Structure 1
Amino acid sequence: MKVKSATPVDIFSLTDQGDALAVRLQMLMPGASRHHRPKPFIEIAQSSFRSGHRCIFICSTGIVIRALAPVLRDKYRDPAVIVIDQSGNYVIPLLSGHEGGAVAFAHDIAQAISAQCVVTSAMDYSRPIYTIGMGCERGCPLAFLQPLFEQVCREMDAAVTDSAVTDSAVTYSGLASIDLKADEAGLLELSKSLNLELHLFSAIELRQVEHLLSEKSEIVFKEVGCYGVAEAAALCCATKLTGMPAELALPKQKNARATIAVARSYAP
């Protein structure tokens, strides 16, 4: 079973027992980087954190707090930080539990390694809500939108099948875009065919989640006033439906005329 993350992951260990667990985790997270007793530890850990990578530390929480304290900003910009004991019994979402997705990520890890997830925040999350965000050229026909949607569905279904959280296919609760697409025939047709309400957001609203985007496009900003449509719309839609923070479940994908992304939030 794999643990999915749309954001790069760095795994840090300081003991041989911890490194054995790190090797196991790396096998569950394709693409994750492993750092065993890195030197200098604090500088490398801080560099990873400042780069926005999700950080998994197999060591004491005190070591992590002392290492990262000088570079902490706020829960809206800091990446998820997870702490695991070297025996792999407990998984703790230490920083950015909700806004950064650490709680959900910790639950995934805990289930994958048969550990206990220790959540100390006031509210835990339960049912995931998935939303689709789309951007497209003016006059983009359904023939470009439908295949892109189907491609993403296949990727998401494959991801959750491998996930430790669920073995069922993803269902979507909303389709979203920028308000400039209110009369976009292709999007309206896709919305109708999927039986999903089309949620529209202004550029100002989309900019509220720009810190969560996988990349920012100056070209898109010059055209519509925000740094991305598909990812931002999906995030805004997920938050609108749950009233809770959202995270990217699948970063932006594209074809010749359209872009698409998937966001996830958790209904309390």
Structure 2
Amino acid sequence: MTKGDAIFLISVSSRGRDTSIQLAQALQGKHQDIRLYTLAAYKIEGVAEIKGDVSTFVKSIFYQAKAIIFCCAMGIVVRSIAPYLKGKDVDPAVLCMDEKGAFVIPVISGHLGGANSLARQVARLIKGKAIITTATDINHEFAIDEWSVQQHCLLEPLAMIKRFSATLLEKGCVGINSEFPVEKPLPQGLSWEAEDIGMVVTARMNYRPFKKNLLVHPQVLHVGIGCRAGISKQQIDSAFFAVVDKFHLSTGSVKALHTIDIKKDEVGLSEFASSWHWPIYYHSAEMLKKVKGSKSSSSFVTQTVGVDNVCERAALCGIEGKLIVEKQKHEGVTIAIVQEDYMVLWSEEESICRK
């Protein structure tokens, strides 16, 4: 389930509406899609009417929202969202703000959903106070789930996040291991020496140096695809999974797909990209000819599309990185994968508590 990009501001009083309008104006330029809603009695130009009761309205927007900011009492928020909660990895950020804008409270999805970060931003904009209650934050420890969102990394397994954070809070130290360069100094509580539980920054699924591993998958993989005309999405699915399983790569680390521009009208390829919500870039044969680092060559492919290799050259096109999976053939599909150069960085907020 994919969250949308919209931030919904919901109010149930005239004061709450006015505070929501003030916040919407302050958020302009920082967020693209901001939508204001209030009860029929308080509707004015620029603020849409909530149809029916608040909870029913929330149901209609819950899974298309990036965030929902209520300007009302906490009880209304809890009763309105309770029936629709599924999990921290899919629920939108939900905030509660009093109608004067004095306090801003993240209700759910504080880290993975970005509610804590958004609450801090909202509080700064309206000169209120963010009330953060998550344990890692109040104890000034490294919040890996919030950091992972800021860095566009996927964490798995999700159940390990709680154990990782609990160990950090209880023992004051957890491990870190990375297949990529890491910015120094480390955030407080992370250690290269720990052995029991740790975060592992990798694009692979089988790299597990600790007894208990929280895998951190940065978006660093560029998948080059070549295919015969009329290929189906199912055939590309089959080829793709055969390759990532063979090389133990995480789909969570895929950043983009690449191919040659004559494949723009391949429905199966477009459907494959859309199903994963990955961008797909189309490169001309002339551009691909200039790419260095390709390992495979085919005279047949040259005669067909004007360049000796599509998948490797496409994956490498415009990317600073290395070819980690050379051309793989699978029933009318060829796939190659490039891993871009990457460095693990820590946000400014974490830098204040680094070693």
Which whole-Å deviations, capped at 9, do the CAs of 1:41-91 have from their partners, x for residues lacking one?
A: 221122111223410000111111111111110000000001000111000
Residue in 1 that maps onto 2:302 = none
Question: Normalization by structure 1: what TM-score?
Answer: 0.51
Structure 2: how far apart are the matches of 1:18 and 1:132?
33
**SS where residue 124 of structure 2 aligns?**
helix
**2: CA distance, partners of 1:52 / 1:108:** 18
Counterpart in 1 of 2:313?
none
Bigger fraction of residues in helix: 1
The offset of 1:39, in angstroms, is 3.1
Partner of 1:227: 276
Alpha-carbon contact 2:219-2:253 (below 8 Å) kept = no
- Root-mean-square deviation (CA), in Å? 4.0
Q: Counterpart of 2:76 in structure 1: which amino acid? A: I
Q: Is 1:111 aligned to residue 124 of structure 2?
A: yes
Once residues 23 and 218 of structure 1 are traced to their aligned partners in structure 2, the CA distance between those partners, rounded to angstroms, is 44
SS in 1 for 2:62: helix
Partner of residue 106, structure 2: 93
- Once the two structures are superposed, the pairs formed by residues 1-268 of structure 1 within 5 Å of their partners are 7-30=5-28, 31-37=33-39, 38-40=50-52, 41-124=54-137, 176-178=219-221, 180=223, 205-207=250-252, 219=269, 222=272, 227-229=276-278, 266=347, 268=350
Q: In structure 2, do the counterparts of structure 1 residues 227 and 68 end up closer, same or farther at CA, with 3 Å as the change threshold? A: same
Label 1:120 to 1:22 Cα distance change in 2 as closer, same or farther (>3 A): same
Percent sequence identity over matched residues?
A: 23
| Contact 2:88 2:112 (C-alpha < 8 Å) held by counterparts | yes
Q: How many residue pairs are counted as aligned between the two chains?
A: 167
**Uncovered stretches (5+) of structure 1, i.e. residues with no partner:** 1-5, 134-174, 182-201, 211-216, 232-256
Give a deviation string over 1:111-165, Cα, whole Å, max 9, x none.
11111100111122789796589xxxxxxxxxxxxxxxxxxxxxxxxxxxxxxxx
- State the alpha-carbon separation in 1 of the partners of residues 27 and 80 from structure 2: 24
Aligned mates of 1:92, 1:111 — CA distance in 2: 13
Secondary structure, counterpart of 1:100 in structure 2? coil
Q: Larger radius of gyration, structure 1 or 2?
A: 2
Q: Deviations for 1:209-247, whole angstroms, at most 9, x for unmatched residues?
A: 99xxxxxx9736747x9824579xxxxxxxxxxxxxxxx
